[in-house]
């Protein structure tokens, strides 16, 4: 097969079609790691220099600093700076169904919401796959209030949570429609459902409260012509059939520290979905040697490559504690051993 562009490679992989080699990209690469590998490059320049296949984009949101060094975003979520790539949610505007009467989510029709998308399409379309970060059913409802309160409402006022799920679905589908008009072909949803020990909520609760919305948002994305990658950390095995059945195109990251088995997922679901992952970023990429990283990367390739539909990556992201030399070993191993003959 002739050499494909990065965009072609990702699109074909997500459709489980033949491709020239295994693609690779990360949701996040910490600036310190980028700087250690290729000093002076921004995230998009790094993507080209490191031969990554996708650039991840967010819609544009405004936020404000409030008392106590906290940040309030357009959803009304109140967050604390974690000194990492993600802030930490601590509070929000919703406590009861009555609070929803005056609640307004971010305006999906706001033109300024899509400036980053428009620029990325102008500069990178046809060269790199552009993947837009949106949400599905869990992150937004669970972050519009303290998490402990969210868990209590699941038991005491499930209709309030169902209403928040509908708000999340409706708003994200509206944003997706605007993104498609601007040239986006792929989205990923980053809502985490599980801890290392298992799901945050019971499978029964998930099926009753979240699964209808999950099907609706995934099918809505698909009706817009989008390919969908679903990210969730943790041990999702009690939920995985619902996740796959919702209509996703790819599952990420098959979290090894939660006991998720790449071979089992490939064997069981690889004929229905693509798979992304899962070189261990908690241990291997952070603490172990280049040689150990190479061996683990080769093992992931051996499992994921047969039949196609595989994207090589870390088991979550390239966070600030990842050894730069180990991430480079992952990339170099992928280039050498990830070619389809």
N- to C-terminal Cα separation, the chain: 9
pLDDT level of residue 157 (50, 70, 90 thresholds): very high
pLDDT level of residue 83 (50, 70, 90 thresholds): low
pLDDT level of residue 84 (50, 70, 90 thresholds): low
Handedness of CA 330, 331, 336, 337 (dihedral sign): positive
**Tokens at 225, concatenated:** 């012509």
- The region, left, alpha or beta by phi > 0 then psi within -120 to 50, assigned to residue 76 is left
What average pLDDT is seen over the chain?
96
Is 64 exposed, middle or buried, given 0-12, 13-18 or 19+ CB atoms closer than 10 A?
exposed
67 against 138, higher pLDDT? 138
Give the pLDDT confidence score for residue 88 in this predicted structure: 79
Whether residue 68 has pLDDT greater than 90: no
pLDDT level of residue 69 (50, 70, 90 thresholds): confident
Q: What is the pLDDT of residues 188-230, one digit of tens each?
A: 999 999 999 999 999 999 999 999 999 999 999 999 999 999 9
Whether residue 94 has pLDDT greater than 80: yes
Distance, in Å, from the CA atom of 209 to the CA atom of 212, rounded to the nearest integer, reads 7
What residue ranges do the domains of the chain occupy?
Answer: 1-52+275-341, 53-60+93-252
201 against 85, higher pLDDT? 201
Rounded to the nearest angstrom, the gap between the alpha carbon of residue 280 and the centroid of all alpha carbons in its chain is 16
Over the range 144-163, which residues count as b (16 or more CB within 10 Å of their CB) and which as e?
bbbeebbbebbeeeeebbbb
Whether residue 86 has pLDDT greater than 90: no
| DSSP states of 7-76 | HHHHHHHHTT---SB--B--S-B-HHHHHHHSTT--HHHHHHHTT-SEEEEE----EEEEGGGEEEETT-
Give the pLDDT confidence score for residue 218 in this predicted structure: 98
Q: What is the pLDDT of residues 4-55, one digit of tens each?
A: 999 999 999 999 999 999 999 999 999 999 999 999 999 999 999 999 999 9
Whether residue 263 has pLDDT greater than 80: yes
**Tokens at 108, concatenated:** 């999906």
Q: What is the pTM of this model?
A: 0.96
CA angle 89/94/98 to nearest 5° reads: 175
User: DSSP letter at 3?
Assistant: P
CB atoms within 10 A of CB 227: 21
Give the pLDDT confidence score for residue 109 in this predicted structure: 97
Give the pLDDT confidence score for residue 87 in this predicted structure: 75
Give the pLDDT confidence score for residue 132 in this predicted structure: 98
When pLDDT is averaged across residues 124-142 and rounded to a whole number, the result is 98
Give the pLDDT confidence score for residue 159 in this predicted structure: 96
Over the range 258-284, which residues count as b (16 or more CB within 10 Å of their CB) and which as e?
bebebeebbeebbeebbbbbbbbbbeb
Q: Measure Cα distances from 317 to 37, 50, 270, 280, 305 in Å.
A: 16, 15, 22, 10, 21
Distance, in Å, from the CA atom of 146 to the CA atom of 80, rounded to the nearest integer, reads 13
Per CATH, the number for 53-60+93-252 is 3.20.20.210
């Amino acid at each position: 097969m002739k050499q494909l562009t990065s965009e072609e490679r990702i699109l074909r992989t997500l459709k489980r079609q033949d491709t020239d080699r295994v693609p690779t990209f990360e949701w996040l690469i910490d600036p310190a790691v980028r700087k250690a590998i290729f000093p002076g490059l921004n995230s998009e320049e790094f993507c080209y220099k490191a031969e990554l296949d996708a650039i991840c984009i967010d819609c544009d949101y405004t936020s404000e600093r409030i008392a106590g060094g906290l940040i309030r975003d357009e959803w009304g979520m109140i967050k604390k700076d974690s000194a990492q790539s993600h802030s930490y949610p601590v509070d929000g505007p919703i406590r009861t169904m009555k609070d929803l009467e005056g609640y307004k989510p971010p305006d999906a029709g706001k033109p300024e919401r899509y400036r980053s998308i428009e620029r990325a399409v102008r500069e990178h379309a046809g060269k790199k796959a552009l993947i837009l970060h949106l949400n599905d059913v869990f992150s937004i409802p669970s972050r519009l209030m303290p998490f402990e309160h969210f868990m209590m409402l699941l038991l005491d006022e499930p209709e309030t949570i169902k209403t928040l799920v509908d708000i999340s679905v409706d708003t994200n589908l509206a944003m997706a429609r605007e993104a498609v008009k601007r040239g986006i072909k792929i989205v990923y949803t980053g809502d985490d459902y599980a801890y290392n020990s298992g799901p945050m909520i019971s499978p029964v609760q998930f099926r009753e409260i979240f699964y209808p919305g999950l099907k609706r948002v995934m099918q809505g994305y698909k009706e817009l012509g989008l390919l969908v990658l679903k990210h969730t950390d943790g041990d999702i095995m009690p939920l995985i059939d619902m996740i796959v059945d919702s209509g996703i195109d790819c599952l990420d990251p098959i979290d090894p520290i939660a006991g998720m088995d790449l071979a089992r997922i490939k064997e069981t679901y690889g004929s229905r979905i693509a798979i992304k992952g899962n070189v261990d970023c908690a241990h291997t990429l952070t603490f172990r040697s280049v040689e150990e990283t190479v061996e683990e990367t080769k093992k992931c390739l051996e499992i994921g490559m047969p039949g196609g539909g595989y994207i090589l990556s870390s088991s979550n992201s390239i966070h600030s504690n990842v050894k730069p030399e180990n991430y480079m070993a992952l990339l170099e191993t992928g280039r050498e051993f990830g070619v389809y003959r």
